[in-house]
Structure 1
Amino acid sequence: MVAAPPFAYTEADEEKRRGVRRMKTTATGLLLFVAVVFALATWAEHAGAGAWAGYVAAAAEAGMVGALADWFAVTALFRHPMGLPIPHTAIIPTKKDQFGASLGSFVGENFLSSGVVRARLHALGIGRRLGTWLADPDHADRVTAELATALRGALTVLRDSDVQAVVSEAITRRADSAEIAPGLGKTLEKVVADGGHRRVVDLICARGHDWLVLHGDNVMDAVQGGAPGWTPRFVDRKVGERVYKELLRFVTEMRDMPSHPARGALDRFLADFAADLQSDTDTRLRVERMKGDILARSEVQDIIASAWSAVRGMIISAAEDERSELRLRARASLLSFGARLATDARLQVKLDGWLEDAAAYVVTTYHAEITSLITDTVAGWDAEHTSRKIEAHIGRDLQFIRINGTVVGALAGLLIYTVAHALGA
């Protein structure tokens, strides 16, 4: 457990202590004053100065008693009066831990109960206030900027290697657990039924025709190179030319004739293959094995891992650009949400309910931890240091108690003396 830090005794605290010392001097000076008055009044009474001396002496005597009693009470809060270990003195240093426990219990019972928290949050009307606040464009801009900063900070803290490993593992596990053949079959079946593959066939035929036109010599050389060694060279050349022309004619016809028989055969092949992907066990197993082989390749794993770097870069770039689509959409969403929240009573009630439930859950579940924070913190303070700091903050007011005690005591003594003489007369 980490020890609680002590009070920091600052220059401001020292200035307060100087004020306390000045008030102590004033209160003590008043005590000395009434003591001198008492002595002089008593002397005057014995010297026959008149009845007034008795009244003054009684008032001064009671003032001294009140001043001494309040001096003892105030001093007993922080230290033993005159250093004497009188019971129930130096209350704050000796009872500090009990005060901390009592304060923790008081806070827990009166501030951290579910009913109190719910009532307070309900009275605040956070949903309506939040909606009105967010509906202000300046506030929406501020929240958007803060969210962008937080997003950049979070992405900066995250280590790329850790995130890449998680992303790679998640994608690989997801791909391993899901059979892809039926899904591919359904997709291919729909593509073939809609004729979506014909554009791909058109592209392949066009590119194939262009390639044959540019590389006719290569095709003829390949045909001639595969001929038997005993055939004459001119025969090989004629065969090569013939094969090239037929191949070029075939590709040209496929390119220019949408109803070409080869295109129909390709349509039937793709339709049959789509059906096999969905229902043929052997085809599905082969696709799964192929999927596993592809995922196991290091190149594929590198591509999966590098996807995070690309996404991270795009997000950071968008977060830094005030005119990016990400920030503009976030701002627009905040404004829209704020406007709706400010006027939609049902949404306000729902949001307030969520906040009240969340706060009630926190104070109920972590009640002991929150109150122990107060108790443990106070327990970790140094007793003498704590006493000095508290005295610096409230000592000046306590010295007024001594002054008031002197004045009130004098008035009470004068009243009692007066009543006693009146009744005696």
Structure 2
Amino acid sequence: MRIAATLMLVAMAVLFFGSRPFLEAHPAVGYLHAFAEAAMVGGLADWFAVTALFRHPLGLPIPHTAIIPENKDRIADTMAQFLRENFLTPAVVARRMQAMNVAGAAGEFLSQPQSGAGTRIGEGAAELMAGVLEALDPERLGGQVRAGLKTQLARLEIAPLLGQMLEAAIADKRHLPLIDGFVRWAGLTLEDNEQMVRDMIHARANALLRFTGLDERLANSVLDGLYKLLAEVLVDKDHPLRNKIEEGLESIARDLQHDPATREKVERMKRELLENPAVADWWQGVWERLRLGLIDLARRPDDLMGGQIGEMVRELGLALSGDPRMQRQVNRFARRTAVGVTSRYGGQIVRLVSETVRRWDARTITDRVENAVGRDLQFIRINGTLVGGLVGMTLHLIDRLVWG
């Protein structure tokens, strides 16, 4: 566009000098000559005006030229003040946010996470997470996490918590499957160690019992009795032994909550466990496996967004899209957050804008503003050339009509 505007100015100069020898040949040549003359004046004037905004014309230090480079600090302050007064005020932000359905837009986006934009964002976030996890020192980070967990667990008195959990489980009958599982485990353990039980009975039987073979019958009776007992406990929900187990669990739940001795015993066991080096080594291994698993998962964002996490994200998006009440709550929270950020950090944001523009050198700000305005600057020159030519032709016509 700059070349086109310059070529038009050159064409007007050629037309001006080329038409001058033929002014007497025909009256129309006078109009062309007047058009070219005024077009050159208009084009040169607008070239000077456009150039004076960004630099000194022809490199000459003419006053009031290179306006933008010479006043970049004032422009920075004015831009920041304009931003502060017209955009980053709580009233403006609240009004703009009032008309926006942030939750609805987020819901539509999240409900289709495999779309182009969602995939790119997911891949970028996954790559960033993988890079962060790989860059961090695993031993140091694991030690910091372990130390934080140890500090929090040391402050937490877990005995009452365990007692309340056990009491709630008993009240809701959630302990019954545990008792059934324990009985089945006992039966399987007895079956696997049946020969060991027989050997113990044989070893403790006297010579007479062994001679008469009663030790084998005694062993069979003991094993049959144990199997029968476990089967009855498993089938009969009101079996006395099952009731004894439940009474024991209830007693443990009460002691964990109200017995100082029991609570102190549990706390002592907790402290010993936390101080045990084996626990620290175990946690370090758990953390390293977790870290490597997260890195591997982050390297496969399609699997991450296609599995349970992706399904959860889609369900959240559908909930946001289809629930007006939830949308109102989320939009209200977003509006309050935006207004709060504006009130608290608006001054810092505009100061960042001002300081950034101030740090730009004259050439940088000139190039950025000139490129932002772009083609319109050269259209000013082209329009100036054409308008100037038309004005010159009009004046020539008036001159001929009035003064002949």
Do they superpose with TM above 0.5? yes
TM-aligned CA distance change 1:311 to 1:74, over 3 Å: closer
Residue number among 101, 106, 113 corresponding to 2:77 in the alignment:
101
TM-aligned CA distance change 1:293 to 1:334, over 3 Å: closer
Structure 1 residues 105-254: aligned runs within 5 Å? 105-132=81-108, 134-135=110-111, 139=115, 143=118, 147=122, 150-151=125-126, 153-155=128-130, 157-158=132-133, 159=136, 160-185=138-163, 197=179, 200=182, 203-204=185-186, 207=189, 211=193, 213-214=195-196, 253-254=225-226
Q: Report the residue type matching 2:284 in the other structure.
A: A
Pairwise CA distance, 1:349: 3.1
Quote the residue 2:337 is aligned against: 358
8 Å CA contact retained: 1:31, 1:67: no
TM-aligned CA distance change 1:418 to 1:96, over 3 Å: farther
Pairwise CA distance, 1:88: 0.9
Pairwise CA distance, 1:36: 7.3
8 Å CA contact retained: 2:34, 2:389: no
In the alignment, is residue 91 of structure 1 matched against residue 67 of structure 2? yes
In the alignment, is residue 256 of structure 1 matched against residue 231 of structure 2? no
8 Å CA contact retained: 1:35, 1:64: no
Quote the residue 1:4 is aligned against: none
In the alignment, is residue 76 of structure 1 matched against residue 48 of structure 2? no
Q: Which 10-residue stretch deviates more, 198-207 or 334-343?
A: 198-207
8 Å CA contact retained: 1:76, 1:90: yes
Q: Report the residue type matching 1:256 in the other structure.
A: K
Q: Report the residue type matching 1:91 in the other structure.
A: I
Q: Which 10-residue stretch deviates more, 271-280 or 192-201?
A: 192-201
Residue number among 270, 277, 282 corresponding to 2:261 in the alignment:
282
Quote the residue 2:278 is aligned against: 299
Equivalent-residue separation in structure 2 for 1:386 and 1:265 (angstroms):
85
Gaps of 5+ in 1: 1-18, 225-233
Equivalent-residue separation in structure 1 for 2:242 and 2:35 (angstroms):
124
Q: Report the residue type matching 1:295 in the other structure.
A: L
Q: Secondary structure at the match of 2:193?
A: helix
Pairwise CA distance, 1:403: 0.9
Equivalent-residue separation in structure 2 for 1:186 and 1:127 (angstroms):
39
Q: Which 10-residue stretch deviates more, 361-370 or 58-67?
A: 58-67
Quote the residue 1:229 is aligned against: none
Number of aligned residues = 383
Q: Secondary structure at the match of 2:147?
A: helix
TM-aligned CA distance change 1:53 to 1:111, over 3 Å: same
TM-aligned CA distance change 1:280 to 1:75, over 3 Å: closer
Residue number among 367, 386, 391 corresponding to 1:404 in the alignment:
386
Equivalent-residue separation in structure 2 for 1:125 and 1:321 (angstroms):
28
8 Å CA contact retained: 2:38, 2:389: no
8 Å CA contact retained: 2:15, 2:33: no
Q: Report the residue type matching 1:302 in the other structure.
A: D
Identical pairs, percent: 28
TM-aligned CA distance change 1:296 to 1:84, over 3 Å: closer
CA RMSD of aligned residues (A): 5.2
TM-aligned CA distance change 1:296 to 1:75, over 3 Å: closer
Q: Report the residue type matching 1:303 in the other structure.
A: W
Q: Report the residue type matching 1:89 in the other structure.
A: T
Q: Secondary structure at the match of 1:366?
A: helix
Pairwise CA distance, 1:285: 1.9
Tell me the alpha carbon deviations over residues 3-54 of structure 1, each in whole angstroms, 9 at most, x when there is no partner.
xxxxxxxxxxxxxxxx52452243155256547767986xx7xxxx999999
Gaps of 5+ in 2: 234-238
Tell me the alpha carbon deviations over residues 47-102 of structure 1, each in whole angstroms, 9 at most, x when there is no partner.
xx999999999888766655554454344334434554332122233233333433
8 Å CA contact retained: 1:278, 1:284: yes
TM-score by length of 2: 0.67
Quote the residue 2:323 is aligned against: 344
Q: Secondary structure at the match of 2:71?
A: helix
Equivalent-residue separation in structure 2 for 1:72 and 1:184 (angstroms):
84
Pairwise CA distance, 1:296: 1.5
TM-aligned CA distance change 1:396 to 1:197, over 3 Å: closer
TM-aligned CA distance change 1:306 to 1:106, over 3 Å: same
Q: Report the residue type matching 1:95 in the other structure.
A: N
Equivalent-residue separation in structure 2 for 1:22 and 1:172 (angstroms):
74
Tell me the alpha carbon deviations over residues 258-298 of structure 1, each in whole angstroms, 9 at most, x when there is no partner.
69999998887766555544443333322322222122211
Q: Report the residue type matching 1:86 in the other structure.
A: I
Q: Report the residue type matching 1:150 in the other structure.
A: A
Equivalent-residue separation in structure 2 for 1:296 and 1:254 (angstroms):
41
Pairwise CA distance, 1:126: 4.2
TM-score by length of 1: 0.64
Q: Secondary structure at the match of 2:64?
A: coil
Quote the residue 2:396 is aligned against: 414
